[in-house]
C-alpha cells in the first residue's frame, strides 16, 4: 500500500482514503476511560505505579531500610497493586495485537533514528536509557505523564494537565528540532 501511495503525484486526499484508525483507537481509549473511572475508580496512568514499583529495583542498591525510610516510597509503597498489574496488561495487550496483526518484530535502532544518527546500537541504547531517565524524572516532578496528565487529566479539564501538555509539546518540538533538524529527512512514520 505504501509503495502505491509514494508512486502517485501529490493530490488532495478524498474521503474514502482517510485512515480512520487513529480516531477509532482514540475513541476506544476514551470509552476505556469511562470504564476505568466508573469500575476501577483509578484513571488511566502509567508513571505513578511505575515509580512505586521502582522501589523494588532500588532495594539491591539502597537496602530494604533505605527504601523503607524514603519519604517518596513511604507515600507510594512498592506493591503488586492495581497500578502495577495494569502495566503488565499494557505489555501483554500490545504484544497480542502485534502478534494478531503479524507486526511483531525485534527492533534495536528505529528508522527515524538510524537516518539521522546511524546504525550504532550502543549509541541508541545509551540515548534511550538517558532519555527514559529524564522523561521519568519529569513525569514524577509533574505528577503524571502522557496517560495520567495528557489523557486522564485533560479529559477532566484539570489545570495541571493542560499546562503539562502544552509545555511538554513545546519542549518536545524544540528538542526534536535540535536533535533531528527540520526537514532533510522526510518520514511519514510508516509502520515498521
Partner 1 sequence: MTIPLSGASLLVSAVLFGFIFGWLLHRARVTDTNVIVNQFRFRDFTVLKVMLTAIIVGGLGVFFLHAGGLASYHIKPANLLGVALGAVLFGIGMVAYGYCPGSGLAAIGTGSLHALIGALGMVFGAVLFALSYDWVKAHILNIAALGSVRLPELTGIPDLVWFAGLAVLALISFLALERRPRR
Residues 82-101 that bind partner 1 (CB under 8 A): 82-83, 85-98, 101
Which residues inside 24-43 make contact with partner 1, applying CB under 8 A? 24-43
120 is an interface residue for partner 1 by CB under 8 A:
no
In whole angstroms, give the CA distance from residue 74 to residue 70.
6
Q: How far is the CB of 69 from partner 1 (least distance, A)?
A: 11
Taking the least distance from each CB to partner 1, the nearer of 3 and 157 is 157
Q: How far is the CB of 43 from partner 1 (least distance, A)?
A: 5
64 is an interface residue for partner 1 by CB under 8 A:
no
Tell how far CA 162 is from the center of its chain. 17
173: three-class secondary structure by DSSP? helix
Q: How far is the CB of 118 from partner 1 (least distance, A)?
A: 14
Considering only 3, 5, 16, 102, the residue that binds partner 1 (CB under 8 A) is 5
184 is an interface residue for partner 1 by CB under 8 A:
no
In whole angstroms, give the CA distance from residue 25 to residue 15.
19
- What single-letter DSSP state applies at residue 148? I
136 is an interface residue for partner 1 by CB under 8 A:
yes
Considering only 7, 11, 16, 102, the residue that binds partner 1 (CB under 8 A) is 11
Secondary structure element (H or E) that encloses residue 11, with its range: none
Which residues inside 142-181 make contact with partner 1, applying CB under 8 A? 142-177, 179-180
Residue 79's CB is within 10 A of a number of other CB atoms, namely: 13
Residue 165's CB is within 10 A of a number of other CB atoms, namely: 17
Query: 67, 59 in Cβ contact below 8 A?
Result: yes
Query: 45, 147 in Cβ contact below 8 A?
Result: yes
Please give the size of the binding site for partner 1, defined by CB under 8 A: 136
Amino acid at each position: 500500500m505504501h509503495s502505491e501511495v509514494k508512486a502517485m503525484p501529490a493530490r488532495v486526499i478524498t474521503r474514502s482514503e482517510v485512515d480512520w484508525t487513529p480516531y477509532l483507537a482514540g475513541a476506544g481509549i476514551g470509552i476505556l476511560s469511562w470504564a476505568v473511572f466508573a469500575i476501577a475508580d483509578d484513571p488511566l496512568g502509567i508513571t505513578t505505579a511505575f515509580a512505586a514499583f521502582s522501589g523494588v529495583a532500588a532495594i539491591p542498591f539502597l537496602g530494604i531500610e533505605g527504601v523503607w525510610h524514603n519519604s517518596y516510597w513511604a507515600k507510594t509503597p512498592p506493591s503488586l497493586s492495581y497500578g502495577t498489574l495494569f502495566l503488565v496488561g499494557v505489555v501483554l495487550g500490545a504484544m497480542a495485537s502485534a502478534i494478531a496483526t503479524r507486526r511483531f518484530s525485534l527492533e534495536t535502532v528505529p528508522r527515524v533514528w538510524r537516518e539521522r544518527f546511524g546504525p550504532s546500537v550502543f549509541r541508541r541504547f545509551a540515548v534511550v536509557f538517558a532519555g527514559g531517565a529524564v522523561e521519568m524524572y519529569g513525569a514524577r516532578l509533574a505528577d503524571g505523564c502522557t496517560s495520567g496528565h495528557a489523557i486522564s487529566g485533560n479529559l477532566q479539564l484539570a489545570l495541571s494537565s493542560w499546562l503539562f501538555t502544552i509545555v511538554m509539546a513545546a519542549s518536545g518540538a524544540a528538542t526534536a528540532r535540535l536533535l533531528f533538524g527540520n526537514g532533510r529527512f522526510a518520514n511519514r512514520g510508516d509502520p515498521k
